[in-house]
A and B are shown apart, each in its own frame.
Chain A
């Protein structure tokens, strides 16, 4: 259970990205966060694992107060929360395998990283994760040699190495074409259904949210605009979220 209480984030330049937001997300849900650019989707996701420090409010996950955690505790929490990104955030020059293994660093001795040593069982685990997202054969390619969809799957494999209980996905398909988008979303769906991983996924397209999410949270100017089932978003609600001039486009 993830409980967000009165979360507020004000950036140094005065921009209020999140305004007194409160949410409860039970374990195992596939939650889609929608909203215009700048509505606070990325800020919300990054506040949950404190890549961005919240200004006010509390985030409590399975009884742990994430907002009050010390650095050590925070690392312990973070390694149980996977995250994937719009720009994939892979190290392009490193091999796919190294990128995936780096998802396991939270469990490894920091001294190992100095001598570039990776225990054999972690390599096996990484290969298994790559198999799972269907690119086991690309393990020894450099990450830059992969297509966008493949890179995002490497990102998922990296997150899988953490054995996460929750997955934050920050517009994971915004840089991908529609067909690839669906294949990436399908993997997220698989993790949700098979492994019971809670998924918080911000999306641009409502149609994707309708296809995959159990629940849709819509943000507007950092405030909660809508929280409910995807099918409950009718035309009026759509216009409330995206503005009067918006037209819903389908992505197949």
Chain B
């Protein structure tokens, strides 16, 4: 066997593959060409060229300025049909503007010449034809598309017009009127410019508010979406399950109990009774402060546990008291600040107060959920640590069952809102089911010390198998098929009620599936296994951000316009939501680019996650965060110019109206303003970015 032969064969094979690849690419591209309706003959049609020329000419002549004019009117008479006794009127040259028509009589449709003298030089003028009844019609000059014409530099003109055909007008004496005009005063900005300026300002602030509002949520989300921070975060399964199981209960308790406390301090704050308000503020601060003085020391045992529990409770109570009081004070301020410049401040702070008032049950619920799960964690920590291996699996099954049931019941509750959201339930079930078989396999085959490809493959396959099985079972038991195909919601038949809350049969089914799957998954894992909570948070945050980012703000704008009506508020909401997703992604990439050394150093000193982030991550990311926020503001200004097209306020709304009314000169003003503002902002943001990175 000679070595050359296979080489040649290989080479020709490679060549053939290249030719095929090229042909396929060519076919794909040509299909794309056809699909996009590319037809080079269309732009060459004369009518279209004229139309586009007109539109462009108007767009490029934006009506930025207006000018006041003094109009001079000169008239002469004209007889139609030339009667026999006709004598042309005497024309005596005068100092002011005057016109002469030649001939002074003619039949309809004949051309006559009108000469003008002593008009203002190089100015627009126009001709009117006034019939015997006094009706005035603009007469277009021969050879002009427009109603007006331009005088010569010396103030004369000589234009031809056609004698109009007016019924029964033979022998009548008509009047020809020439209107010349002289600019008076300096040109001024037009009313359109004023309107555009006002709307542009609205646009810039729309973008500013949307950007600022999105910074904090985006920054918080960005830490969860940063792989280098989340990769290493793991938690023992037992603690996680205890926390998860207690979250809903804590939420309800918090919303009721802490919510009532928050509402009380809110009323106190809004009431404006200084002494009571100060007292409740002191109460809140004292709770937080005593919680702080009781901070966990290293001692273990019952006292330590009691302290930690009291600590968590006091923190929750103090936080809600203070939040409620602040909300109340904000409401109070909004009510009393009604003078002068304070109006803006009052409205702003007042609506923050309203926001707190609205969100109070939610805040209280979240605080309650975390307080209760922290207490639960403290109570069970020692138990979970000392429990025997077999007991840890029993506990795992118990807790896993509770958590699985809660998880699936909650997704089912969401699924009762919109048909396709019902898919969450089988997906969550698949997540649980996917972990069962690999763990079962691990029971029998211990993890090889050397990583093995077959072992990994088997684990992956088993994982998928379990996930698909769980998905299919849940999908068919809950009849998600019907929801997906028909778009109809699952039936709301109530199985039983707990404290006024209806549990539907649908939720009960999901709950039972979750109970079984969760118990199996938790049981095999045991409470002592470590759960990669960081990876899960990372993946879900990333997925959420990517999904949100892929929805254009224009589409979000459509929904928000339905919700809050046409206007800049809808635009702010749409842009803010999109900015959260987009900034979150950009920020998280900056977090991933930082020097990880300081993180390692601070973790080694015994700092917790929050402290590590505040001291090792935040100082490193401030410059890129500023840069990207500026960049985002820049993008948001551009986006807010078109968000108005769907009713989101700002200059886009005006632009759309002008375009619909075919007022291209006015639209030109808006386009010009957008170009100026966007490029100015582009320079500014580039400058700031350069300064800070």
Tell me the A residues contacting B by CB distance below 8 Å. 10, 12-14, 49, 51, 55, 70-72, 75-83, 85, 87-94, 98, 102-111, 113-114, 116, 155, 158-159, 161-162, 168
Contact = CB atoms under 8 A, between A and B. Distances in A.
A75 B295 contact: no
B607 interface: yes
Nearest to B315: A111
Given A70-B381, A76-B298, A93-B620, A102 B597 contact: no
Nearest to B296: A72
Contacts of B606: 75-80, 105-107, 162
B600 A158 contact: no
Contact of B601 (A13, A89, A106): A89
Contacts of B8: none
Interface stretch (B360-368, B406-414, B610-618): B610-618
Contact of A78 (B385, B603, B622): B603
Nearest to A84: B601
Given A105-B615, A162-B605, A91 B620 contact: yes
The 7 residue pairs across chains A and B that have the minimum distance between CB atoms: A106-B606, A79-B606, A89-B597, A105-B607, A89-B601, A78-B606, A113-B614
Interface centre among B607, B608, B622, B623 (most CB of A within 10 A): B607
Nearest to B384: A70
A78 B605 contact: yes
Given A70-B385, A91-B616, A91-B619, A105 B604 contact: no
Contact of B600 (A51, A79, A102, A105): A51
21 contacts: A14-B451, A51-B604, A79-B606, A80-B606, A82-B604, A83-B601, A85-B600, A88-B597, A89-B595, A93-B619, A93-B622, A102-B602, A102-B615, A105-B605, A105-B606, A105-B612, A105-B615, A106-B606, A110-B610, A162-B605, A168-B604
A93 B607 CA distance: 19
B449 to A, nearest CB: 6
Contact of A116 (B296, B601, B612, B614): B614
Nearest to B288: A111
A223 to B, nearest CB: 15
Contacts of B385: 70
Contacts of B598: 89-91
B450 interface: yes
Contacts of B600: 51, 85, 89
Interface of B: 235-236, 292, 295-296, 298, 381, 385, 449-451, 595, 597-598, 600-608, 610-612, 614-616, 619-620, 622-623
Given A51-B604, A70-B381, A75-B606, 7 more contacts: A76-B298, A81-B604, A94-B615, A105-B607, A108-B611, A109-B295, A110-B608
A49 B622 CA distance: 30
Nearest to A77: B606
B231 to A, nearest CB: 11
Contacts of B614: 113-114, 116
Contacts, number: 106
A117 to B, nearest CB: 11
A111 B292 contact: yes
Given A76-B298, A113-B615, A14 B604 contact: no
Contacts of B601: 83, 85, 89-90, 155, 158
A102 B602 CA distance: 7
Contacts of A109: 292, 295
Contacts of B603: 51, 78
B236 A70 contact: yes
Interface centre among B236, B597, B611 (most CB of A within 10 A): B611
B531 to A, nearest CB: 13
B562 to A, nearest CB: 38
Nearest to A103: B605
A94 B622 CA distance: 11
Nearest to A94: B619
B595 to A, nearest CB: 8
A249 B607 CA distance: 39
A110 B612 CA distance: 10
Contacts of A159: 605
Contact of B604 (A49, A87, A92, A161): A49
Contact of B449 (A10, A12, A89): A10
A79 B601 CA distance: 11
Nearest to A81: B604
A155 B605 CA distance: 11
Interface centre among B601, B604, B612 (most CB of A within 10 A): B604
A71 B610 CA distance: 14
